[in-house]
Structure 1
């Protein structure tokens, strides 16, 4: 049975921070961000646009009523949870009005968990061929004003509909994961922003890529030449470029190397305008690749490197299916230009605003721009979501 990604949707915030503005305000050379990180802009989410609203918006852009009747599982992968008990997937299930007899759960392991969710979804469809699983990777990367990670923030969500006979990508069975108990990035329950050992995290990312890829090739008797593209987890595009260069096989024919390079460049275009979206970054890279590459064909094999600090890494692969281009939206880069540009002072207020609860646990918010869904209020400590115009 062929199982994989049937549809892909994406949503991000309606506000953007230009990297040149951030660099100038922090007394940094703009090239530190444009060349040192390969970043041009960051999506900035207000308090009314969170992982639930963006996740629902991403899914709403691709789902039909028939899809909603067939979906019997909703998984939200995130490290930006809005509740320590209730899964964000339950809110999303309700907002999208998916049929009631569905399992809804939330998964966490830093930036890796969407890959685990994808595998869980594939196994579920294998056992229940008529079902569909909605996998959502939704996150807000937030580090703090003038912090070392401020330039690698971002916000966004990827939605993937997993089914048999997929129309975009067929997932292969050959996967390999690696786990290491390390402290490169973590966020205790008592902290609203993470702790980061940036240099160490970069080293671990690259070492786990190299070691996992080497073992993957040995176990499955494959090489880089068997693939048309390699997608990476994208905390910032420059790190993925380092990873790409680390696994590049210079003994391959030049034309194969050039194709891989061009497709890598296509895969980072969206992240360069959005920033880090944690669990969704790898799959944003896939979407960017598919919607911007000029040389991909049905039957082409794509490799993926997923990484989540702490740390878990996985390499898996998939094959493009006939007609995959018909499921894409090549105008997305143009739409990103429509976001409202924030001044530094507006960014500092909007991105780091906290709910001001009264004695009864109520809070209301300003009327910020959002997608189709919005966090309307907090009422007696309960988050109240709805459609923007309802």
Structure 2
């Protein structure tokens, strides 16, 4: 039985900054950000959006009346959780109108948990082939103003429906994964911004990829010749390119050009959005599917997922004949074209407007065009609204 990703959808808020403006404000050469890091723009998350609202906004285009009544498993992957106890998936269930006889669960392992959620969904469908599972990977990448990690901030959500006989990608049962307790990135309970050892984290990412790639080849007997594209988790786009360059010498000259061209297509959206944490790999996949006209059904894609702390997985999927039917038509280009650019002063003001503390407050939602918004805090409870 074929099982995999049947439909995909994406959301990121309506605000952004130019990385060249940020570089100038921080006294850096713009090329350090544009070329050295590989980022052009960065999504800015207003106080009226969080991991829950972004997840709901991403999933909404996939919902139908029939799905709302039959969906019985919602998996919410995030490292930007809004509660130490209650699952963000429970909020999604209500906001999306999903029937109450459904399991809703939140997963955490840095940027990796979106992939684990996808694999759990696959296993569930294997036992219940008539069911579908909603997997949402949603995060706010936040390091702090004037920090070394500021250039790799961003945010957004990817929603995926997993089913038998999927329209987009079948998942092969060939995953190779590994875990190691390292302190390359973490966020203490008392902090809203992550802590990161940037150079060390970059090295661990590359070491995980190479070790898993070598293990995958040994376990499956496949080589780089068996792949039409390699898709990477992209905390920033240069990171994935470094990973790809580690294995390119295994390919002949023609395939090297093809793999590089596919990577350029896969990183196009991430260059404009920034870091999605749990959704980053799947934004790369969306970008590849939408921006590569020559990608043919039956193509084997290799996908590398990494989460600091650290856990990684390499697996493959087979592109399906009607994969475009599972994508929301022109969704990401339309979203990018409608965004509003901010000055660095405006961005810094928004960055400081976090919903911290226990005091009641109302947020100004009229300027947020999203369907689902965070309207404030009342009796220590987040107030989520559907605007339209």
When normalised by structure 1's length, the TM-score is 0.97
Question: Following TM superposition, by how much is the alpha carbon of 1:334 offset from its aligned partner in structure 2, in angstroms?
Answer: 4.4
User: What corresponds to 2:364 in structure 1?
Assistant: 366
The answer to whether the 8 A contact 1:132-1:161 is kept is yes
Q: Secondary structure at the match of 1:157?
A: strand
In the TM superposition, 1:74-113 aligns within 5 A as 74-113=74-113
Are the structure 2 counterparts of residues 214 and 332 from structure 1 closer, same or farther at C-alpha, using a change threshold of 3 Å?
Answer: same
The answer to whether the 8 A contact 1:292-1:330 is kept is no
User: What corresponds to 2:18 in structure 1?
Assistant: 18
In the TM superposition, 1:371-382 aligns within 5 A as 371-382=370-381
Question: Following TM superposition, by how much is the alpha carbon of 1:331 offset from its aligned partner in structure 2, in angstroms?
Answer: 5.6
In the TM superposition, 1:257-336 aligns within 5 A as 257-328=256-327, 329-330=329-330, 332-336=332-336
Question: Following TM superposition, by how much is the alpha carbon of 1:48 offset from its aligned partner in structure 2, in angstroms?
Answer: 0.9
User: What corresponds to 1:244 in structure 2?
Assistant: 244
Give the Cα–Cα distance (whole angstroms) in 2 for the partners of residues 40 and 292 of structure 1: 17
Q: Secondary structure at the match of 2:36?
A: coil
User: What corresponds to 2:60 in structure 1?
Assistant: 60
1:350-380 Cα deviation digits (max 9, x unpaired)? 123123767xx41111234141101112110
2:132 equivalent to 1:132: yes
Give the Cα–Cα distance (whole angstroms) in 2 for the partners of residues 53 and 32 of structure 1: 33
Give the Cα–Cα distance (whole angstroms) in 1 for the partners of residues 318 and 361 of structure 2: 48
The answer to whether the 8 A contact 1:224-1:249 is kept is no
Give the Cα–Cα distance (whole angstroms) in 2 for the partners of residues 330 and 135 of structure 1: 21
Question: Following TM superposition, by how much is the alpha carbon of 1:118 offset from its aligned partner in structure 2, in angstroms?
Answer: 0.5
User: What corresponds to 2:115 in structure 1?
Assistant: 115
Give the Cα–Cα distance (whole angstroms) in 2 for the partners of residues 192 and 377 of structure 1: 17
Question: Following TM superposition, by how much is the alpha carbon of 1:337 offset from its aligned partner in structure 2, in angstroms?
Answer: 2.4
1:74-113 Cα deviation digits (max 9, x unpaired)? 0110000011111110101100001111000100000000
Q: Secondary structure at the match of 2:74?
A: strand
Q: Secondary structure at the match of 2:249?
A: coil
CA RMSD for the aligned pairs? Answer: 1.2
Q: Secondary structure at the match of 1:48?
A: coil
The answer to whether the 8 A contact 2:10-2:331 is kept is no
Give the Cα–Cα distance (whole angstroms) in 1 for the partners of residues 242 and 355 of structure 2: 39
In the TM superposition, 1:319-358 aligns within 5 A as 319-328=318-327, 329-330=329-330, 332-355=332-355
User: What corresponds to 1:206 in structure 2?
Assistant: 206
Give the Cα–Cα distance (whole angstroms) in 2 for the partners of residues 254 and 172 of structure 1: 27
Give the Cα–Cα distance (whole angstroms) in 1 for the partners of residues 209 and 6 of structure 2: 27
Question: Following TM superposition, by how much is the alpha carbon of 1:195 offset from its aligned partner in structure 2, in angstroms?
Answer: 1.1
Which runs of at least 4 in structure 1 moved beyond 6 Å after TM superposition? none
Q: Which runs of 5+ in 2 are unaligned?
A: none
Give the Cα–Cα distance (whole angstroms) in 2 for the partners of residues 107 and 315 of structure 1: 19
1:170-196 Cα deviation digits (max 9, x unpaired)? 000110101111000001111111111
Give the Cα–Cα distance (whole angstroms) in 1 for the partners of residues 54 and 161 of structure 2: 16
Q: Which moved more, 1:86-95 or 1:241-250?
A: 241-250
2:152 equivalent to 1:169: no
When normalised by structure 2's length, the TM-score is 0.97
1:57-89 Cα deviation digits (max 9, x unpaired)? 110012222222231100110000011111110
Aligned residue pair count: 386
Q: Which runs of 5+ in 1 are unaligned?
A: none
Q: Secondary structure at the match of 1:139?
A: strand
Q: Secondary structure at the match of 2:158?
A: strand
User: What corresponds to 1:39 in structure 2?
Assistant: 39
Q: Which moved more, 1:241-250 or 1:208-217?
A: 241-250
Give the Cα–Cα distance (whole angstroms) in 2 for the partners of residues 199 and 159 of structure 1: 31
Question: Following TM superposition, by how much is the alpha carbon of 1:253 offset from its aligned partner in structure 2, in angstroms?
Answer: 3.2
The answer to whether the 8 A contact 2:10-2:332 is kept is no
Q: Secondary structure at the match of 1:83?
A: coil
Give the Cα–Cα distance (whole angstroms) in 1 for the partners of residues 61 and 40 of structure 2: 26
Q: Secondary structure at the match of 2:376?
A: strand
1:259-287 Cα deviation digits (max 9, x unpaired)? 21111110000000000010000000000
